[in-house]
Amino acid sequence: MKSEDPGPEETDRPAPTTAGGRILGALGRAEDTLSLLILGLMAVLPVLEIIFRQLNANVPGAIPIVSALTMWIGFAGAMLATRRDQHLALSTGVGFLPAGIRRVLTGFTVVVAVVVTVFLAYGALIAVQAEQISTATLPGGIPTWVAQLIMPVGYAVIAMRLVWVKGGGWLDRVVTTLIAMAVILWLRSIDIEEMDSTDLLRFGGIAVILLSTALGSPIYVALGGAALLLFWTEEEPIAAVAAETVRQIKNPTMPTIPLFTFTGYVLAESRASERLVRVFRALVGWMPGGMALMTALVCAFFTTFTGASGVTILALGGLLYPVLIKDRYPETFSVGLLTASGSIGLLFPPSLPIILYGVTARVPIDQMFIAGIIPGFVLVGAVSLLGVRAGVKASAPRPPFNAQELFRAANAAKWELALPLIVVGGIFTGLTTLVEAAAVTAVYTIVVEVLIYRDLSLVKDMPRVARDCSTLVGAVLIILGVAMGFTSYLVDAEVPEAALEWVKGDIESKWVFLLALNLFLLIVGCLMDIFSAIVVVVPLILPIGKHFGVDPIHLGIIFLANLELGFLTPPVGMNLFLSSVRFKKKLFTVYGAAVPFLLILAVAVLLITYLPELTLAPVRWVFGTLPEAPPIEF
């Protein structure tokens, strides 16, 4: 699966030696700066709200503004993701085909993506026009529909950029545009009400969309296209997809996604990784397999804040891989370790997938944070076991424990080591809401890395960091928006109820259900990114889990742990492709390197699944009791 490379060369900027290149370069820099301004404002406003609250005052409209800015950074980032060709997509695997065939297949995927995106823009425009009759306003008297204009504008820009970035040469771009326009006009001419049956149109359209996705179209095209097609053929307004996008982004916890991601990118672009490596080396380097254990801990720390395994592998792989090789760990093992470690931090607070699961399943996020701690360490421990074995087998050097070095390393990294305490402390003491904790974390990290350590320059580096962060955030939020539309259709069509009835007829045992769930989620983890999987799949499995008496909190940890495993599962696990690119290894070499970690992590996931007390006992200990499960309504 293609993912979020934090710093590739721009694919859409001509060389700045031409007038056109200079203009596009200037526009690109302005776009990067705008991303920084939006993220900065999102971080500063909640912090000001905390300060003013201590003075018995408030910042007028701070939260509604941050919510609106979440939509803006989502679509601004999606436009950036298109500009940089970094939308989340399945890896195509067609590189071995002749150039002529690849050209035709690429043209096909671009046509499908453009057609879907244009109709998403059209539906968003209808939704904005409908909002114009509302009297709701943002602070300053700005009508809410003005803020929502970013949706149709964003989709329109994405459609044009898809042709520019993916369309090839000028002739290919012209042909692609003409074909896409012809398809759009043909679809617009169809009168659904006069059709005797829409089955051929519905299933044929979905088949085309799935084929395009398999060949490399962005995942948002698959989910958005399917949602549009299903609503349209059921004679429902296609604006429903945009309406669900607005509803999803308006969720009060949604700003945490860009804010915590911003924190993770600032850490990844600074020298924080070097300081943390030094701390964990001093802490565990003297143990058998100490360097492998250090790698797992550092990767878990970073993934916790970025919420994206790709960022961890791409950002830390270049630092940690040479360290492992220097300490005589085999190359294959080192690649496998970094591939597996890229996602093992997703169960620790303030993990973005945990937050999103809590939002989708309507369970307390603070309790999800506590529930994931022990299972998270089970996964880290499983990886570490292989590290100890490899370290002993390779006779890796084991420097003696040095308390003074540990103290010096911890002192040098004290500002970064305090981050988890700031997040958890703010939330559990009641001093901050979840969004405020995310904002405080982002501002704190920027101050530390820019002003205290001076690893990053506010002028030279932060626009680039904001661009990289916005690219990932946009690629994720555009998927979440259309996935919510797709989920809305599934709920309206009573698919969760049908799935529950089917399961009732074939599965009677809770334990058989859990095993079937493990296998199902393993496949989901291979094929879908974790964010869209949460929005689409969780509403389907929650009623079934409730029927079998599986607590929603435990179900969430099972869900996320299985998806982590899916990232490592051949042939299309996302981490496998990322490692192949990052370490310049053949894909089958990465497959072989990942298999031992896949097997031991599978055992760990089964323990997490079948021993619910690993998840639920800490929640009872901290909160006294488990919350009553909310009604399953979506």
- Both tokens of 424, joined, read 């958890």
Q: Of the candidates 122, 86, 343, 314, which has an alpha carbon nearest to the alpha carbon of residue 220? A: 86
Element holding 142 (H helix, E strand)? strand 142-143
**204 burial level (CB within 10 Å; 0-12, 13-18, 19+):** exposed
User: Rounded distance, CA 562 to CA 402, Å?
Assistant: 38
SS3 for 286?
Answer: coil
CB 13: neighbour CB atoms within 10 A?
17
Q: How far is CA 620 from CA 105, 450, 629, in A?
A: 54, 40, 14
- Indicate the angle between helix axes 239-249 and 150-166, nearest 10 degrees: 110
Q: Of the candidates 303, 211, 306, 308, which has an alpha carbon nearest to the alpha carbon of residue 2? A: 308
pLDDT at position 633 is: 41
CB–CB of 365/434 below 8 Å?
yes
Q: How far is CA 124 from CA 3, 183, 237, 243, 373, in A?
A: 26, 19, 11, 8, 40
pLDDT at position 627 is: 53
- Both tokens of 292, joined, read 């492998």
CB 309: neighbour CB atoms within 10 A?
28
Torsion of CA 159, 164, 169, 173, to 10 degrees: 30
User: Rounded distance, CA 114 to CA 94, Å?
Assistant: 21
SS3 for 169?
Answer: coil
- Both tokens of 383, joined, read 């990886």
**Domain edges within the chain:** 89-249, 256-623
Tell me how far apart the 2 most distant CA atoms of the chain are, in Å: 80
Q: How far is CA 50 from CA 36, 42, 249, 256, in A?
A: 22, 13, 22, 16
Strand-pairing partners, residue 142, are 138
Phi then psi dihedrals of residue 348, to 5 deg: -95, 145
User: Rounded distance, CA 350 to CA 359, Å?
Assistant: 14
Strand-pairing partners, residue 143, are 137
CB–CB of 267/305 below 8 Å?
yes
Q: What is the DSSP string of 379-430?
A: HHHHHHHHHHHHHHHTT---PPP-HHHHHHHHHHTHHHHTHHHHHHHHHHTT
User: Rounded distance, CA 611 to CA 625, Å?
Assistant: 18
User: Rounded distance, CA 211 to CA 142, Å?
Assistant: 43
pLDDT at position 7 is: 41
**316 burial level (CB within 10 Å; 0-12, 13-18, 19+):** buried
The stretches of 270-372 forming alpha helices (DSSP H) are 272-284, 290-306, 309-326, 331-341, 352-361, 365-371
**Residue 192 has what DSSP assignment?**
G
Find tokens 């599978």 and name the residue.
602
Element holding 137 (H helix, E strand)? strand 137-138
Q: Of the candidates 556, 263, 290, which has an alpha carbon nearest to the alpha carbon of residue 401? A: 290
Residue 491's contacts (CB-CB under 8 Å, 6 or more residues apart) are 539, 634
Half-sphere exposure of 430 (CA within 13 A, CB side): 0
User: Rounded distance, CA 506 to CA 478, Å?
Assistant: 36
pLDDT at position 102 is: 82
CB–CB of 629/547 below 8 Å?
no
Residue 141's contacts (CB-CB under 8 Å, 6 or more residues apart) are none
User: Rounded distance, CA 419 to CA 449, Å?
Assistant: 12
Low-confidence ranges of the chain (pLDDT < 50): 1-15, 629-634
Strand-pairing partners, residue 137, are 143
